Amino acid sequence: MPVAYLLLGSNLGDRATILREALQHLQEVAGTVEAVSGLYETAAWGLEDQPPFLNQAVQLRTSLLPEKLLDACLATEQQAGRQRLVRWGARTLDVDILLYEDKVLHTPRLTVPHPRLPERRFALVPLADIAAAVTHPVLKRTVTELLASCQDELAVTRLK
């Protein structure tokens, strides 16, 4: 079965509980959670005037094709009470597909690998916990190499 890497993020409510419940929900609807990163508190990216996020990367073994995995991610967000009011705004839960095997996919609904992964320290740091040697299928660089060259200067602090 394919392996996908996801990023979970929350900056509203009991963030740690929301991420824990999201992991359980993903396990029920999307596949087997094989690894999780530590929890990282990160400054908001894009729209910075909001509470800090808790982020966590997840390695998921799934039988779902990428667009069906997206549906499962969106259902997980919905279960957590996600409301899409403002782009990059505060949210109870965000679940992004960062990588799906070595697939490169561009559809109206989904781009894999995540198009802004190389620019986002808040995604690369937790991903490096569980997938440091994984190679970006377009850039042909490992997660460690992407992190070393990332110019994002926003704080990313490991909590546990």
| Three-state DSSP class for residue 158 | strand
Which residue of the set 94, 120, 121, 152 is catalytic?
94
Q: Which entry of 91, 120, 121, 152 is annotated as an active-site residue?
A: 91
**Known catalytic membership, residue 84:** no
The interaxial angle of helices 15-29 and 66-79, nearest 10 deg, is: 140
Residue 94 known to be catalytic: yes
49 annotated active-site: no
In DSSP notation, 64-99 reads S-HHHHHHHHHHHHHHTT----STT---S-EEEEEE
Compute CA 133 distance to the chain's CA centroid, rounded to the nearest angstrom. 17
| Of 12, 8, 5, nearest in space to 24 by CA | 8
- Which of 14, 15, 71, 96 is an active site residue? 96
Q: Which of 15, 20, 82, 84 is catalytic?
A: 82
Show Cβ contacts of residue 108 under 8 Å, excluding neighbours closer than 6 positions.
none
Question: Is 82 noted as a catalytic residue in this protein?
Answer: yes
Q: Which residues are the active-site residues?
A: 82, 91, 94, 96
